[in-house]
Structure 1
Amino acid sequence: MLRNKSNEALVALLLVAPFVAIYGLIFIYPTIKLFIVSFQDAPIIGNGPFVGFENYTRLWGDRRFNTAFWNTAYFVALTVIPGTLVAFAIALGINRLKGRLQALVLALFFLPYILPVSVVYLIWDWTLNFQFGIAMHLFDLLGLERVSIFKNTTWFMPAVAFVTIWWTCGFSILLFLAGLRAIPAEIYEAAALDNSSVWTTFRKLTWPLMWPITALVLMIQLILQLKIFDQVYLFSIGGRPNDNLVLVYYVFQRAFQYDQGGRAGAAAVVLFLIVIIVSVLNFQLTRLSKGRG
């Protein structure tokens, strides 16, 4: 039977229309509004006079923005690649387990991922708090001097990075396990017949076959950690928040503490462009590596 193409197109448009409307309302319109506000001397609510690129030029002379930029880069370096490698190593170990033991160990590693950030904060504050933390009592038993980890600029970012890896690696482990289970068992059987060592099998078979999953995990982690805010905000309570600034925290301060919507918008646009550029570069590098493979 001949189909009425115009009717099919109309039905397709009607089905897609709700999604397009919601997407435009909660993403497209706010993004356009963000770019407009970034060129204005505007408060957080309302418009202001047009100032051109002044908000952007003032960013690079702002000591707090420079601190936020480099803290974000430092945090990404501490979490993205180390977190991916940790998740991959754990997934390799879990993949060797069988039955209920495998399910139990996987559940234990995945459990932190479903916790809200407030619970994660309380758990690690109870563990590492200078006055009553469990770890501090262990320091006392070992005769070591207590360290105020979350109030010390040197230790703050590494500690928050460690907590973040503990909190988020469960999802990455699931992705790696899915990739490992998708590798045909016949490949490893053939490698065993050739007397391939464990390291050779991993380097020649497992790692190349797992590279697409690894690239996906790297991209997800990179985008997530560039937008880090919750952990830094919570663990900075009672400490020195201006020394622990990250880009989203800087935007929060400018927008909601100083009512400088224009400058906050400019910082948000810079972060938005960084995320896009890094994502595109990561995608292109992934394509190039697959082409060479």
Structure 2
Amino acid sequence: MLRNTKKEWLIAYILIAPFVAIYALIFVYPTIDMFFLSFQDAPLVGAGDFVGIENYERLPRDRRFGTAFWNTAYFVALTVIPGTFVALAISMAVTRLSGRTQALVLALFFLPYILPVSVVFRIWDWALNFQFGIAMHVLDAFGMDRIPVFKTTTWFMPAVAFVTIWWTCGFSVLLFLAGLRAIPQEIYEAAALDNTSRWRMFRHVTWPLLWPITGLVLTIQLILQLKIFDQVYLFSQGGRPNDNLVMVYYIFQRAFVNNQGGRAAAIAVVLFIMVIVISVINFQLTRLSERRK
């Protein structure tokens, strides 16, 4: 049968047109506008004066920008790789279960992921609050001094990182479970016949075959944690927010508190470029490691 190529292309364009229009409206246009705004001395809403790269030149001398940058890097180090290995360990433990027990345990680990951040904040503020937190009463029972977890710079980021891993690892667990179930059981049976230990089986069979999923989880976690804001903002209330700044929190302060749209846009552009560059590097390293295996 003869194919009407022009008609097929027309139908294809019509089908993708709504997606392209929405994508351009809610992502492409705001991104382009953000780039133009970053070269202006302007409020968040309204016209401003063109200042060239002045907003970018200020960043290296901005102490709070340096604090936000290093706090973000510290938070990424505390969450991305540890959270990935925690999810991997949980998924491997869940695969050893079966039936309703497996479904129940998996649901318990995935449940935090569907909770809104406000509920997560209430749960852990109730547990770790310096004045009335349950954990503080436990310390009192053992005669230990209470720890102001969310009020001190030393404990703040590790505590928020712990809460974030607890909150977000459920999705990573599902990804690892999908990868584990895709591994043919015949490979494990053949390894068992050779009396291969569990560690060698994991090192030479499971880990290499799971590497693409691991790379995907690392990339997703990198992007998510570089954009950390909600938990830091909520847990900083009543504490020392300027010491706990992360990149998105600093953008929020510049844009919505100080009404400095141009300077906020410059920081947002830097973060945008960081996310793209780090994601591409991580993806390429993942592909390179996969080829070597």
TM superposition score normalised by structure 1: 0.99
Counterpart check, 1:94 vs 2:94: yes
Deviation of the 1:140 alpha carbon: 0.3
Q: Give 2:247's aligned residue.
A: 247
Q: Give 2:205's aligned residue.
A: 205
Q: Give 1:104's aligned residue.
A: 104
**1:37–1:47 CA contact under 8 A, matched in 2:** no
CA-atom RMSD in angstroms:
0.6
Deviation of the 1:3 alpha carbon: 1.9
Deviation of the 1:6 alpha carbon: 1.3
Q: Give 1:118's aligned residue.
A: 118
The one-letter code matched in structure 2 to 1:166 is W
The one-letter code matched in structure 2 to 1:195 is N
Deviation of the 1:85 alpha carbon: 0.4
Aligned length: 293
Cα deviations by residue, 1:122-146 (Å, 9 ceiling, x for unpaired): 0000000011000000000000000
Q: Give 2:14's aligned residue.
A: 14
Q: Give 2:152's aligned residue.
A: 152
- Residues in 1 aligned to 2:286 and 2:46: alpha-carbon distance in whole angstroms: 42
Q: Give 1:85's aligned residue.
A: 85
- Residues in 1 aligned to 2:175 and 2:128: alpha-carbon distance in whole angstroms: 30
Could you tell me the percent identity over the aligned residues? 75
- Residues in 2 aligned to 1:28 and 1:39: alpha-carbon distance in whole angstroms: 18
Q: Give 1:276's aligned residue.
A: 276
Summarize the alignment of residues 31-46 of structure 1 with structure 2, pairs less than 5 Å apart. Answer: 31-46=31-46
The one-letter code matched in structure 2 to 1:5 is T
The one-letter code matched in structure 1 to 2:134 is I
- Residues in 1 aligned to 2:221 and 2:138: alpha-carbon distance in whole angstroms: 32
TM superposition score normalised by structure 2: 0.99
The one-letter code matched in structure 1 to 2:145 is E
- Residues in 2 aligned to 1:110 and 1:10: alpha-carbon distance in whole angstroms: 43
The one-letter code matched in structure 2 to 1:89 is A
The one-letter code matched in structure 2 to 1:160 is V
- Residues in 2 aligned to 1:166 and 1:267: alpha-carbon distance in whole angstroms: 29
Q: Give 2:70's aligned residue.
A: 70
Runs of 4+ in structure 1 deviating by more than 2 angstroms, as ranges, are none
Summarize the alignment of residues 51-70 of structure 1 with structure 2, pairs less than 5 Å apart. Answer: 51-70=51-70
**1:247–1:271 CA contact under 8 A, matched in 2:** yes
Cα deviations by residue, 1:155-175 (Å, 9 ceiling, x for unpaired): 000000000000000000000
**1:42–1:262 CA contact under 8 A, matched in 2:** yes
Cα deviations by residue, 1:238-268 (Å, 9 ceiling, x for unpaired): 0000000000000000000000000000000
SS in 2 for 1:242: coil
- Residues in 2 aligned to 1:39 and 1:96: alpha-carbon distance in whole angstroms: 56
**1:112–1:170 CA contact under 8 A, matched in 2:** yes
Q: Give 1:165's aligned residue.
A: 165
- Residues in 2 aligned to 1:100 and 1:126: alpha-carbon distance in whole angstroms: 31
